[in-house]
Structure 1
Amino acid sequence: MSSDLRSLVSELRTTLDRHQLDSAVNLLSRAKRTLLQQNALIPTPSTPPQLLSLAREVLELGALTSIRREDAPSFTRYYQQLQPFYDAERHIEATTGGVDLSTSQRSKITGLYLLLLLSVGQNTDFHTVLEGLVVEASLQGVSVEDDPYIKYPVELERSLMEGSYDKVWRETKSERVPSEEFGLFSNVLVGTIRREIADCSEKAYPSLPISNAKNLLFLDSEGAVIEFAQERGWILRDGRIYFPIEPEAPGAQAIPGTRSEKDILVASGTVIENAIGYARELETIV
């Protein structure tokens, strides 16, 4: 049975390399049925190390297949299924050395999961996962940023927190993207950036020229700007975008210790001023 499973894993690898995703899904189903028959879909202390590694590889290939099919919920399920396998293999390696971790794609899968969390704005979960990695790395005397798969989403998150949207945009387009799977998140992540900039724009300015908004929002054409503006409920007139104004409630008073509307506008204005500067620089690139 193990030889059959090894053949399935080898075929699955080849199929995924060729981007034959429908075939990969069928092979995954067969491989998981085989694992189920051997009670290896969930690791136990009695699971042989070789079978443990094969099961882990099946799930990793499943995770990568899900990414390429742009199926985030499926990828998340595979990520969660993989955690007990990673724990079991690390325990065996630490105590007996009886498992080969050289084939493990834990680093890549974890980096992709961090990027997924970042792309959909789940910042709390992002930092929870990252803190666990930092503790583990410190115990080994290394830094999480020594790993390019982890460093990539960490640097993107840092740039987002700084409001350096141009850095994020550049990184998603650069050759520093660790692998093809990471590149698939570009549209989602740039969409997150676009919404952040749009939110700040609404607070900072009464209006913006459509021509400025194109580069500011990382859109390909003024037509795309118009479509995006309509989705946000912005008003288009005379080549400009006018942002809706939300009136303050009558008699509203500032709460001590909180930021006033003026403070928010000033802070947002600073972000947008920087972003407009970046947009002008990007005109030389786009």
Structure 2
Amino acid sequence: MTLQNIKELAQALKAEFNSPSCNLDKCGQLLLKLKIALMEISFLTHDAKHASTEELLLARDVLEIGAQWSIRTKDIDSFERYIAQLQSYYNDYSHLPPSSQKYSLIGLNLVCLLSQNRISDFHTALEKIEPEQLHNNPSIQYAIKLEQSLMEGSYNRVWSSRQVVPAAEYLFFIDILMGTIRNEIASCSEKAYTSLPLKDAGTLLFFTDMGDILNFAKERNWKVNPAEQKAYFHSSADEKVTIPAEQIIKQALFYARDMDRIV
């Protein structure tokens, strides 16, 4: 495939991706063709050192759209692969004009790491960011404040952060993070209480819709009493405990005989 053909494919991808009626399947097909074509001419490998600025920018634009497309299709593995490839274009080719998407995607990657509880990877990624951007860039600051809220256990601030996301794509990872937080809160509630009013459970779990509360209760195997509007949890007292009486008696007699011999 010639460079001109690749440019035309990239333009078609950009137009489709930015269309109000974007067809994600079509974007995926275009991305696949572009990745194969770019690898054939070494734009996606370390052999791209001799490529022109125009060619490198073309490859970078395709990868950036690919990363955003991965979020829209909820494919985390694909997103991580695109981010890994973009690192070379962001770090190794300093002569390229700055990308308007760079820090938004880096911030997205930071939130992705938080959603997977990969805290050490999160801090490693922070160390690679320029100090000026670390302290002033809204996307990076968003991820840093989110991590601080998690470490402090301020889950209400994590929930509130949905209202101030730097871009709509961030909501995908925030929802994953909230799912983890809800299950942690639910586990603590099950140990602390035998039951809770559904309304109170909804407040604790950051649910505003009763349907969401009932679906979550079903997932956790809670017993919901519609008349009382309460959710009952499984307690350890409800579980049948089997005591190996015969084994305990035999061990007690064995110890008793040993004591007699000692005396």
TM-score range, shorter chain: 0.7 to 0.9
Match for residue 169 of structure 2 among 177, 181, 193: 181
Please say if 1:80 is aligned against 2:78: no
Q: Secondary structure at the match of 1:70?
A: coil
Residues 149, 158 of structure 2: 8 Å contact kept = yes
The whole-number CA distance in structure 2 between the counterparts of 1:23 and 1:6 is: 17
AA aligned to 1:164 is S
Please say if 1:53 is aligned against 2:57: yes
1:238-279 Cα shifts (integer Å, max 9, x gaps): 4333333458xxxxxxxxxxxxxxxxxxxxxxxxxxxxxxxx
Once structures 1 and 2 are overlaid, which stretch shifts more, 43-52 or 65-74? 43-52
Structure with bigger gyration radius: 2
AA aligned to 2:119 is N
> Measured at CA, do residues 65 and 143 of structure 1 come closer, stay the same or move farther in structure 2, by a change above 3 Å?
closer
Give the superposition deviation at 1:104: 5.1
Please say if 1:242 is aligned against 2:232: yes
Within 5 Å, give how 1:48-197 maps onto structure 2. 48-90=52-94, 93=95, 99-101=96-98, 103=99, 105-133=101-129, 137-138=130-131, 142-172=132-162, 174=163, 176-197=164-185
Taking structure 2 as the reference length, what is the TM-score of the superposition? 0.78
Which of structures 1 and 2 has the larger relative contact order (alpha carbons within 8 angstroms, sep 6+)?
Answer: 1
AA aligned to 1:57 is D
Q: Secondary structure at the match of 1:127?
A: helix
Give the superposition deviation at 1:145: 3.4
AA aligned to 1:179 is A
Identity, % of aligned positions: 39
Q: How many residues align?
A: 232
> Measured at CA, do residues 126 and 40 of structure 1 come closer, stay the same or move farther in structure 2, by a change above 3 Å?
same
1:142-198 Cα shifts (integer Å, max 9, x gaps): 2513111111222122112222222221221x2x22112223334323212212321
1:91-149 Cα shifts (integer Å, max 9, x gaps): xx2xxxxx222x3522121111111122233223222222332xxx23xxx25131111
Match for residue 233 of structure 1 among 211, 214, 221: 221
Q: Can you give the 5+ residue segments of structure 2 that lack an aligned partner in the other structure?
A: 238-263
- For 2:242, the equivalent position in structure 1 comes to none
| Stretches of 4+ aligned residues off by more than 4 angstroms | none
Q: Can you give the 5+ residue segments of structure 1 that lack an aligned partner in the other structure?
A: 94-98, 248-286
